[in-house]
Amino acid sequence: VEALEPASVLNDHGIPERVMLSYLQGEIEGETAVKNLPAAILLIVWFLMMNLSHELPPTIQSIEKAIDFDITENANFAFSSPLYMGHKNFMDVNTFADWYSWMNLGFSAIYFPSTHAVSEGANFSIGTPTFLEASTYLMHNRKIGGVQLSQQRLFSSECSNPIVANALELTCLDFRGLDLRLK
């Protein structure tokens, strides 16, 4: 049996019609896909630009960070006498008494102010906030809805590495139930 070279088979017999049509159909589909690619990229870029111009993500992120910072740093409890300095924040709440103290002295003081803030130890008052002032948070964010609090709990669960847990006599816990993101 004589070995056939591809060039000699092509010159002597040609290409079958179905093979040629299948190849051409694939090339036409590929060309169409490449021609549609710039329009698809333009649509994605247009959507991105419209989203950035309407949603203003940097502004929203800075407001969320300001609220988070204010609650973390300024909603304090466990005040020292004469009630000037709170030494704990919401991360230090461990008992019902701590929670009540934080809600009463820390969170409600910054979210529901009854007087304007003045310097520590000042013997004067500059009045009570008006309704418009009391309905804003951090001087310019309008309070629209209520405050949602959720509880953090740890439950016993299976360890991801039971060999290490048994060797070190560890108990594995699963974290469920707390979502600190703004809604």
How far apart, in whole angstroms, are the C-alpha atoms of residue 61 and residue 52?
A: 13
The dihedral formed by the CA atoms of 28, 32, 35 and 41, expressed in degrees to the nearest 10: -140
Residue 183 — pLDDT band, cuts 50, 70, 90? very low
58-117 pLDDT per residue, tens: 888 998 899 889 988 988 888 887 667 888 988 888 888 998 998 988 888 888 888 887
Task: Answer whether residue 182 shows pLDDT above 90.
Answer: no
- pLDDT value at residue 181: 52
- pLDDT value at residue 47: 96
